[in-house]
Amino acid sequence: MPFEHDSLLGLTYLTADEILYLLDEAKAFRSILERDLKKVPTLRWLTVVNLFYEPSTRTRISFELAEKRLSADVVNFSASTSSVRKGESLRDTVDNILAMKVDMVVVRHSSVGTPQYIARKCKVPVINAGDGTNEHPTQALLDLYTIREKFGQFNGLKVVILGDIRHSRVARSNIDGLKKLGANVVLCAPRTLLPPNPNVFGVDYTTDIEEALSGANVVNVLRLQLERQKAGYIPSLREYRMFWGLTSRRAKLLDSDHIIMHPGPMNRGVEIDPDVADAKDTVILEQVTNGVAIRMAVIFTLAGKIKG
């Protein structure tokens, strides 16, 4: 199997072949989701715990559905209703959960490196469901799957990542995957929402939204992380929409062959106008459906490592 890892901690650790392997595996699972009976008995022996220390709609439900479609047993942990509220540390929480003999851990946490920490501590596969501003590998894989579904390949595609790149783990994982697969990535944001040294990504970047969107095949619009805007990164939401929002006028600059993506949750009328979000060239809900297939592929692949 051309997949060398026991855990999925980030796309930074994967080769292009390993990414393509997971996308190919997901194709088979995607077709299962179209059946009347959307379930296979493959992983009846597996117990997965979903540790969510941060809010989530799509990722949490998508992982749970993927696990149930594979017939795994699922345990959901939410920090807000757990003994974390009584002061229990991450280390003790993880030790206690592992003592109950789970086979796989999915984790979302606001601190960068939490999945790596858990993976070092335990012998079971760990899947990163988003760690702080670092990585969100399954989101990037589902984005890559959606792009390949539309265009067949990545070479020469102009892919614009638009918006709050500074705080975005989705951007980091996407940049890594897209670069490895041969796409031309362009980052576009106000200077304050680019990282202090945008060259670290090794891709083009611009603060000119018209230049960025011109002739692009894909625009992936990032959520403006409203919870972080008190620091004064932008003057106001109204001005952000005016200068950086994806409006229907700006969407006309895209190549005639294009798709519009958003990882969710959307701030309608801020980073993306409602008419653009609901237009037929957006693939936002396809991304969500593909996410279940991608997570089935990741869980299935890592479960194969347990059984050898």
Binding site for ligand CP (CB under 6 A): 56-59, 130, 139, 263-265
With respect to ligand CP, which residue has the nearer C-beta, 58 or 305? 58
Q: Which is nearer to ligand CP, 266 or 306 (CB)?
A: 266
Structure tokens at 287: 């991304």
Structure token pair of residue 219: 């625009």
Report the residue number, 56 or 78, with the smaller CB distance to ligand CP.
56
Nearer to ligand CP, 59 or 128 (CB): 59
Strand partners, 184: 158
To ligand CP, the closest distance from the beta carbon of 114 in angstroms equals: 15
Spacing of C-alpha 38 from chain mean position: 23
The nearest distance, CB 59 to ligand CP, in angstroms, is: 3
* Distance in angstroms between the alpha carbons of the first and the last residue of the chain: 11
Is-contact 26 145, C-beta < 8 A?
yes
| Chain position whose Cβ is nearest to ligand CP | 59
Q: Residues near 82 by Cβ (< 8 Å), separated by ≥ 6?
A: 88, 93
The smaller minimum CB distance to ligand CP, of residues 215 and 265, is found at 265
DSSP states of 134-173 as a string?
A: TB-HHHHHHHHHHHHHHHS--TT-EEEEES-GGG-HHHHH
CB of 45 to ligand CP, least distance (A): 27
DSSP H/E element including 294: helix 284-307
Distance of closest approach, residue 287 Cβ to ligand CP, in angstroms: 8
Q: What is the DSSP letter of 155?
A: T
Name the minimum Å distance from CB 5 to ligand CP: 21
CB of residue 72 to ligand CP, shortest distance in Å: 19
Looking at beta carbons only, is 7 or 220 nearer to ligand CP? 220
Sign of the dihedral through C-alpha 74, 78, 82, 83: positive
Minimal distance in Å, beta carbon 125 to ligand CP? 20
Burial 130-153 (b: 16+ CB within 10 A, else e): bbbbbbbbbbbbbbbbbbbbebee
CB of 229 to ligand CP, least distance (A): 17
Do residues 172 and 133 touch, judged by C-beta distance below 8 A?
A: yes
CB hemisphere CA count around 67 (13 angstroms): 22
What sign does the dihedral 185-126-148-217 (CA atoms) show? negative
Candidates 221, 294, 241; CA nearest to 20 is 294
Pick 2 or 265: Cβ nearer ligand CP:
265
Comparison of 41 and 288: residue with beta carbon closer to ligand CP: 288
Which amino acid, 91?
A: R
